[in-house]
Structure formats: C-alpha cells, structure tokens
C-alpha cells in the first residue's frame, strides 16, 4: 500500500511562492494498476517523484508498505528505493556506453548480489520483456520501444514489486507504446503494483484506479 498524506509542494521563486501540490491525499493498494492523468503542469511528475522518494515534499508524508519515506535519512531512502521501487522515465535514462544487460545489472551493484547471480537476474529480466536477443546491444542500437523495455527490465530486476512510471509511452510510436502497456498489464497480473502517468485516454480502461489532477489538486 502506498499512502500519501497531506502532501504539499511549493517552490520558492525570487519574490513569490509557487504552490505546485496542494494537500494531496491518496491510498493506492498493492497490486493496483493506477493511472495519473491531467493537463500539462498540473503536478503529475512532481507527485510521482515525491512518491518515489526522488524529491522531498514541503509538507506531508508518504508511506510505502508502512515505511515512512521522509523519516529516513537520504542514504536510507536511496537504499530503500533501490530495493523496492522501480522507476521508468519517458526518456528511458539508460547509460549509452553500457549494453542492455549492463544497464539492467546496474541496480544490483548496491546490493550483496554475487556477480554471477547479477548476470543471471539481468538475463531473466530481459527475457521477461522479450529482449533475450538484444542483451548485448547498446541503447543507440535499440529502437525506442526496446529501450523502454530495457528500462522496465531494470525496474524489476531487483524484485521491486512497485513500478512508478512517468509517461513511459510518451516518446514511443503507438505500436511500441502498446507493447509497453501490455508488459505493464502482464506485470500487474503477476501482482506488481504499477503507478503511471499518461496523456493517452485509451490507457484508462486498463487502470484499476484513475487519479485525475488539476492545478496541483486531485479532482477525481
């Protein structure tokens, strides 16, 4: 369960305060496939980053399976995120000079996983996203849809059961986008919790919970 309690976020500009999130409250049960929708600038990415512990709120708390993110020290948050949350970005965030396999192995470098096991797990994750035949390709040798599948493999390789994705299909053609959505749907069926931002109204029928934002507030 992800619980968001009274989250506010303000940015301090030179002579005024910008209120970006206004008292956000949310409960997302485990095994949900939750979608966040809303106009550009409504605060979707900011909320996702805070739920993932990537950014700190001005006020309020986020609990991920009972763990209060912002009561942890920064190092603890990083560690917790590394073990428990997979983040998928619109622009993939893969390292260009590493192969698909090496990119997927990255999250394991902080754990105590022995090297042989790391390769095994990364291979398995790439298999799950249908890329067993592209493991030694570097990002520039992959299509957009394939890059996004590598980043999904990286998100699940540590056995994180929570995936947070910010417009994961935003940079993809419709067919690749559909492949990515099918993958998420499969992971959801396997019991993963998925929270994603989308601008695509067709995705709504897949969601178990749709969260609509407007001007920093949840409106439904």
Ligand X SMILES: Nc1ncnc2c1ncn2[C@@H]1O[C@H](COP(=O)(O)OP(=O)(O)OP(=O)(O)O)[C@@H](O)[C@H]1O
Q: What angle, rounded to 10 degrees, do the helices at 144-156 and 174-189 form?
A: 20
Helix (H, G, I), strand (E, B) or coil at 33: strand
User: Would you give the end-to-end CA distance of the chain in angstroms?
Assistant: 19
Q: What angle, rounded to 10 degrees, do the helices at 144-156 and 115-128 form?
A: 130
The number of angstroms, rounded, from the C-alpha of 57 to the middle of its chain's C-alpha atoms is 18
DSSP state of 27: E
Smallest distance from Mg ion to CB 45, Å: 3
Smallest distance from Mg ion to CB 180, Å: 17
Residues 7 to 26: which contact ligand X by CB under 6 A?
A: 11, 18, 20
Return the one option of Mg ion, ligand X, none that residue 12 interacts with (CB less than 5 to 8 A, by type).
none
Residue number with CB closer to ligand X (29 or 41): 41
Residue number with CB closer to Mg ion (6 or 199): 199
Return the one option of Mg ion, ligand X, none that residue 37 interacts with (CB less than 5 to 8 A, by type).
none
Return the one option of ligand X, Mg ion, none that residue 43 interacts with (CB less than 5 to 8 A, by type).
ligand X
Distances (CA, A) of 126 to 55, 157, 162, 184: 29, 9, 18, 14
Contact footprint for ligand X (CB under 6 A)? 11, 18, 20, 38, 40-46
**Contacts to Mg ion by CB under 5 A:** 45
């Amino acid at each position: 369960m992800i619980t968001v309690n009274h989250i506010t976020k303000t940015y301090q500009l030179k002579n005024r305060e910008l209120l970006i999130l206004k008292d956000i409250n949310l409960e997302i049960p485990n095994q949900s496939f939750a979608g966040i929708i809303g106009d550009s600038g409504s605060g979707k990415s900011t909320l996702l980053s805070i739920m993932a512990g990537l950014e700190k709120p001005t006020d309020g708390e986020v609990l991920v399976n009972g763990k209060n993110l912002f009561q942890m020290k920064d190092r603890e948050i990083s560690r917790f995120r590394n073990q428990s949350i997979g983040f998928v970005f619109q622009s993939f965030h893969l390292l260009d000079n590493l192969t698909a396999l090496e990119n997927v192995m990255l999250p394991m470098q902080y754990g105590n996983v022995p090297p042989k096991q790391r390769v095994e797990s990364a291979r398995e994750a790439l298999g799950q996203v249908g890329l067993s035949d592209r493991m030694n390709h570097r990002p520039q040798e992959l299509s957009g849809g394939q890059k996004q599948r590598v980043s999904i493999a990286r998100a699940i390789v540590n056995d994180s059961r929570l995936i947070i994705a910010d417009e994961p299909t935003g940079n993809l053609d419709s067919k690749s986008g559909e492949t990515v959505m099918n993958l998420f749907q499969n992971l959801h069926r396997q019991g993963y919790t998925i929270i994603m931002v989308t601008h695509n109204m067709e995705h709504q029928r897949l969601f178990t919970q749709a969260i609509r934002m407007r001007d920093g507030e949840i409106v439904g």
